[in-house]
Amino acid sequence: MRHNLNILLFALLLLGVLSACKGRDVSIAVDGSAGPLVTYPDYKDVTIPANIAPLNYRYAMDGVRKAKTTFTLGDKSVTIKGTEVEWSLGKWKAFVDGAAGKTISVKAEAVVDGKPVSDAWSIFVSEDPMDGWLTYRLIEPSYQMYNEVSIRERCVENFKETVISDFKHTDNACMNCHIHGQQRGDYSLYYIRGPKGGAILNQGGKLRKLTLKTGSMISPTVYGELHPGGRFGVFSTNIIIPSFHTVAGERMEVFDTASDLTVADFEKDEMINLAHVARADKFETFPCFSADGSSVFYCVADTLPVPQEIKSLRYDLVRADFDVTNGHIGEQVDTVWTGNGSVCHPKASPDGRWLMFTVANYGTFPLFHTECTLYLADLQTGEVRPMEEIKGDKSDSYHSWSSNSRWFVFASKRGDGQYGKPYFCHLDADGRTTKPFVLPQKSSRFYVYNLKSFNVPDMGSASTGLTARDAQRMCGMDSEAFEEAR
């Protein structure tokens, strides 16, 4: 009797799992393409770089069979049969060789519920290449602070992925995302938290584990960016509190009860703490450098009691001069953008023309804000606009630039609303964008079964060369303590 009951319970559990998978398989197609034949991922009418990995996708429809897809570029033509359109890397590279500046025509035919259906679209191959490397943190999109986290590097020209740091080699420590300095592979930084952790700085392939904290700072460094010259880094220090919403339809908020700015001098091993960017009546956070390193952009808000007044907390985007001789942030502050919204994650384009940032209705944690939108500021004209043309139905947040300023990547929960995924977009010299496309994967069903969010995608022009063994080795080494500059 007990044996039969166990079999019944197992069968019900299996049915539930299969039903959940089927439900997720259908729900993810919400982000699929329009048209007679629905595809996921949606690569219809996108603009891509010639050096991107194969655009593998499937026909995400019930009752579809006998699918046949033909790709044509000039006098070259490739036909793939089946509902899962997956290229071999060699065949794709041969097909797009010499395709820069040209258009790929796609014609698809299938039988859906017994009736013949056809569809057609195009893919434009840009003359602008894209940086070949992307780093990101893979993390469960849950209410846990962290569990089984890893930082990984992916070559976007193929499907090779390398683990830079992971929970297996760091005693399951929390780790923060990897950032490049000027999109360089040999100039980067990431954090491993916990008693054996620190800020892992990569300069020319030489690794240092740093304690970026002095006695007067409210916390170790949290968000920041590396200076183009290599000597400095600008960071925020934050007391961060997670909180659940009690309002129906809203999930989780993360907010600061205090936040300041600080500068690290990597040559002198000093933290430069300045009173005018560490005010008790202001929250200062998310600093970044201008392309030439002469300015610091950051977000600032009046201090409010939180979480009681979280929906009234709105950050402005400001700019101050940066002195490259002593690492000081200027006291004169200019407002770049203020409005009916709250700014986070500013990033300047490498050519110095653009500044992109995220705007939500309130607060400083946009991951669960469906209204969250990317904004683009023209630093030559002063014009600022919301990028509504690329906005998804869910949160669009953290982005980074390719080194030629013609591509950017951003994290979006569009579609299923749960899992952040990296989307790429082309930006021309006049600020016009193209349709975003998700990072291609070897399997056309990857995003159906993937159970991790891609957090803080960051582009690099070369591989960091770092591995999880490096992270393990650094966790076993003493940190270099920084002194407070006086």
CATH number at residue 405: 2.120.10.30
Q: Per the domain annotation, does 96 fall within a domain?
A: yes
Parent domain of 55: 29-126
In a domain, 106, yes or no: yes
Which pLDDT band holds residue 35 (cuts at 50, 70, 90)? confident
Q: Tell me how far apart the terminal alpha carbons of the chain are, to the nearest angstrom.
A: 77
Q: What's the token pair of residue 374?
A: 């990317």
Check whether 19 has a pLDDT greater than 50. no
pLDDT above 90 for 132: yes
362 within 8 A of 400, measured Cβ to Cβ: no
The two tokens of residue 4 are 């039969």
Residues linked to residue 367 through DSSP beta bridges, in sequence order? none
Q: What is the DSSP string of 135-163?
A: EEEEE--SSSS-SS-EEEEEETTSS-EEE
| Residue-level pLDDT at 27 | 41
Residue 146 neighbours by CB under 8 Å, 6+ apart: 139, 174, 175
| Domain final residue, candidates 99, 126, 153 | 126
pLDDT of residue 114: 94
Q: Let me know: does 175 contact 151? Beta carbons within 8 Å.
A: yes
Q: Are residues 471 and 414 in the same domain?
A: yes
Range with lowest mean pLDDT among 157-161, 165-169, 186-190: 165-169
pLDDT at 188: 96
pLDDT above 90 for 310: no
Output the pTM of the full model.
Answer: 0.92
Q: Is 80 exceeded by the pLDDT of residue 162? A: yes
CATH number, residue 77:
2.60.40.10
For residues 24-36, give the mean pLDDT.
64
pLDDT higher than 50, residue 359: yes
Q: Based on the domain organization, do 248 and 108 belong to the same domain?
A: no
User: Is 460 a residue whose pLDDT tops 90?
Assistant: yes
Q: Do 83 and 188 sit in the same domain of this protein?
A: no
Task: Quote the pLDDT of residue 101.
Answer: 98
Residue 19 placed within a domain? no
Range with lowest mean pLDDT among 112-121, 140-149, 349-358, 385-394: 140-149
On whether both 334 and 277 belong to a single domain, the answer is: yes
Task: Over range 389-395, report the average pLDDT.
Answer: 89
Helix (H) or strand (E) holding 233: strand 232-244
CA-to-CA distance for 22 and 18, rounded, in angstroms? Answer: 6
Are residues 231 and 325 both part of a single domain? Answer: yes
Average pLDDT over residues 427-439: 97
Which of 114, 95, 116 has its CA nearest to residue 106?
Answer: 95
Q: Are residues 291 and 388 in the same domain?
A: yes
Mean pLDDT over each residue of the chain, to the nearest integer: 90
The single-letter DSSP state of residue 41 is S
Tell how far CA 408 is from the center of its chain: 10
User: Which percentage of the chain shows pLDDT scores above 70?
Assistant: 91
- Shared-domain flag, residues 301 and 357: yes
- Mean predicted confidence (pLDDT) in 153-165: 97
Residue 481 falls inside a structural domain: no
**Residue 319 sits in the same domain as residue 444:** yes
269 and 337 together in one domain: yes
* pLDDT (0 to 100) of residue 14: 37
The last residue of one of the domains, among 126, 157, 179, is 126
Question: Does residue 484 form part of some domain?
Answer: no
Q: Are residues 78 and 182 in the same domain?
A: no
Give residue-wise pLDDT tens across range 38-76.
Answer: 999 999 999 999 999 999 999 998 999 999 999 999 999
Q: Judge whether residue 13 has pLDDT over 70.
A: no
Q: What is the DSSP letter of 485?
A: P
Say whether both 373 and 309 belong to one domain. yes
Pairing of strands 232-244, 221-226: antiparallel
Strands in 76-81's sheet, in edge-to-edge order, are: 47-49, 115-126, 103-112, 64-73, 76-81
Residue 20 lies in a domain: no
Mean pLDDT of 362-379: 88
The answer to whether residue 291 is domain-embedded is yes
Q: Tell me, what's the pLDDT at 172?
A: 86
The pLDDT assigned to 4 comes to 41
Closest CA to 426 of 205, 167, 130: 130
Confidence of residue 240 (pLDDT cuts 50, 70, 90): confident
Measured between alpha carbons, how far is 10 from 1 in angstroms, rounded to an integer? 14
* 6 has a pLDDT exceeding 80: no
- Residue 251 confidence (pLDDT): 64
Instruction: Give how many domains the chain has, as a whole number.
Output: 2
Mean pLDDT computed over 360-367 = 85
Of 73, 94, 126, the residue that ends a domain is 126
Q: Which region among 134-143, 255-264, 307-316, 345-354 has the lowest average model confidence (pLDDT)? A: 134-143
What is the arithmetic mean of pLDDT over 299-307?
92
Predicted local distance difference test score (pLDDT) of residue 18: 41
Q: Is the pLDDT of residue 138 over 50?
A: yes
- Do 35 and 147 lie in one domain? The reply is no
Q: Give residue 364's pLDDT.
A: 86
Decide if 21 is inside a domain. Answer: no
Helix H or strand E segment including 299: strand 295-302
